[in-house]
């Protein structure tokens, strides 16, 4: 057993690869409330999830496992990890504000920026699981308000934020506008596809159609896959995709890296990509096609009802001739845009999202989704 100390979750992923370990464990509650904790696991270099976790639980409950003695040594990898992050930096000289949100990436961010050119400001770097300044979830715009203020007040080119255990990234441009996970991924994809024409880029089912269209226009193959970082990692291994990501800010690089999600490594590659495309994140965001979409809408649904509801919606729509993508829940395509209904992997909730080209289309799509929920006996959320 080797202990590597306090750090972001991706530091464990790095250590498993570099130390040629048989597996890895990270104690983390990520961005969950302070009284939550958990364990992220690797078996070999692959994630452990789903039925594998259930099987481990059953094995532990039965007590039917080998026992014996072992050794414990402390192996410092922090400095090596920072060095590895910097290896692929290509020299972007920018003004960047960084917000690790008092999460486990605080020390790593501080060490990283000391070795980067340009002007840098780090806020909320002290590691404090009570999260005294804001919750460390960069997918919630409220949590980015402090970063926005710093970026605008100090005249920074952009701001980068991370979640509680440092495996997800969020961003704001110089004007204070949020650059969402699928927009970050598209900017990264365009940069990578200049070197790897025809490469497959994977995004989860919640991503904007702007992303999928943009990858194709840049000469790549866009694949839509199930939400969940372990599911995305597994799909990357199956397809050989060099890059993947989720709306939640998980960014996975197999190109020059290990194939796992690392918010800090994604930040390095993001700076490279912005610099290579003119150095102005605000312009890159503004040049993307304009669409209207809802935030991720979540509403309660009992665990034993989630899949029957999804299956019922899928069957009704398929019988009506609707264009349905059912890779994860149902994503319904119309001339106005699309709407999504899927079951959460981790909570007793259904998740919905709607995207359209204009306000009228957004209203029509919301009406369609509300109608399907009512047919399933689910009260639509008030914000739909």
Q: What are 98-151's pLDDT values in tens digits? A: 999 999 999 999 999 999 999 999 999 999 999 999 999 999 999 999 999 999
Domains of the chain, each with CATH number or no CATH:
2-74 (3.40.120.10), 79-286 (3.40.120.10), 292-375 (3.30.310.50)
Residue whose entry in the numeric block shows the structure tokens 């014996």: 68
Model pTM score: 0.94
Residue 171 confidence (pLDDT) above 90: yes
Residue 102 DSSP SS3: coil
Smallest CA-to-CA distance from 383 within 259, 295, 269, 263 is with 295
Cα distance between residue 162 and residue 143, in whole Å? 10
Q: What is the pLDDT of residues 338-381, one digit of tens each?
A: 999 999 987 899 999 999 999 999 999 999 999 999 999 998 88
Instruction: Look up residue 85 and give its two tokens.
Output: 């992050």
Strand pairing category for 330-333 and 2-3: unpaired
The one catalytic residue in 30, 208, 230, 248 is 30
Whether residue 2 contacts residue 19, with contact meaning beta carbons closer than 8 Å, is answered with yes
Whether residue 122 contacts residue 96, with contact meaning beta carbons closer than 8 Å, is answered with no
Instruction: Look up residue 183 and give its two tokens.
Output: 């927009």
Q: What is the pLDDT of residues 221-235, one digit of tens each?
A: 999 999 998 899 999
Question: Is 30 an active-site residue?
Answer: yes
Residue 267 confidence (pLDDT) above 90: yes
Q: What is the pLDDT of residue 354?
A: 98
């Amino acid at each position: 057993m080797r202990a590597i100390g306090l750090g972001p979750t991706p530091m464990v992923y790095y250590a498993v690869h570099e130390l040629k370990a048989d597996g890895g464990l990270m104690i983390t509650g990520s961005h969950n409330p302070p009284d939550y904790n958990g364990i992220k696991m690797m078996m070999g270099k692959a994630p452990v999830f789903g039925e594998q976790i259930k099987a481990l639980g059953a094995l532990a409950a039965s007590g039917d496992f080998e026992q014996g003695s072992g050794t414990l040594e402390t192996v410092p990898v922090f400095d090596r990890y920072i060095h590895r992050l910097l290896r692929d930096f290509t020299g972007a000289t920018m003004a960047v504000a960084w917000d690790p949100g008092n999460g486990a990436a605080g020390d790593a961010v501080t060490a990283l920026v000391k070795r980067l050119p340009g002007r840098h400001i780090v806020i909320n770097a002290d590691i404090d699981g009570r999260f005294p300044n804001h919750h460390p979830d960069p997918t919630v715009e409220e949590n980015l308000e402090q970063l926005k203020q710093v970026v605008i007040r100090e005249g920074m080119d952009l701001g980068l934020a991370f979640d509680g255990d440092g495996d997800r990234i969020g961003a704001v441009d110089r004007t204070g506008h949020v650059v969402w996970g699928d927009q970050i991924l598209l900017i990264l994809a365009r940069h990578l596809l200049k070197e790897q024409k025809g490469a497959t880029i994977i995004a989860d089912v919640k991503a904007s159609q702007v992303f999928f269209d943009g990858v194709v226009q840049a000469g790549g193959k866009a694949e839509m896959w199930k939400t969940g970082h372990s599911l995305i990692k597994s799909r990357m291994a199956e397809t050989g995709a060099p890059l993947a990501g989720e709306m939640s800010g998980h960014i996975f690089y197999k190109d020059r890296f290990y194939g796992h999600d690392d918010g800090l490594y994604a930040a390095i590659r993001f700076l490279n990509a912005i610099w290579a495309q003119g150095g102005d994140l605000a312009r890159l965001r503004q040049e993307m096609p304009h669409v209207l979409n809802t935030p991720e809408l979540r509403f309660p649904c009992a665990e034993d009802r989630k899949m029957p509801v999804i299956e019922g919606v899928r069957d009704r729509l398929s019988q009506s001739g609707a264009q349905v993508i059912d890779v994860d829940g149902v994503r319904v395509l119309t001339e106005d845009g699309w709407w999504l209904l899927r079951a959460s992997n981790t909570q007793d909730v259904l998740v919905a999202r709607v995207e359209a080209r204009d306000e009228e289309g957004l209203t029509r799509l919301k009406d369609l989704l509300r109608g399907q929920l009512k047919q399933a006996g689910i009260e639509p959320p008030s914000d739909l």
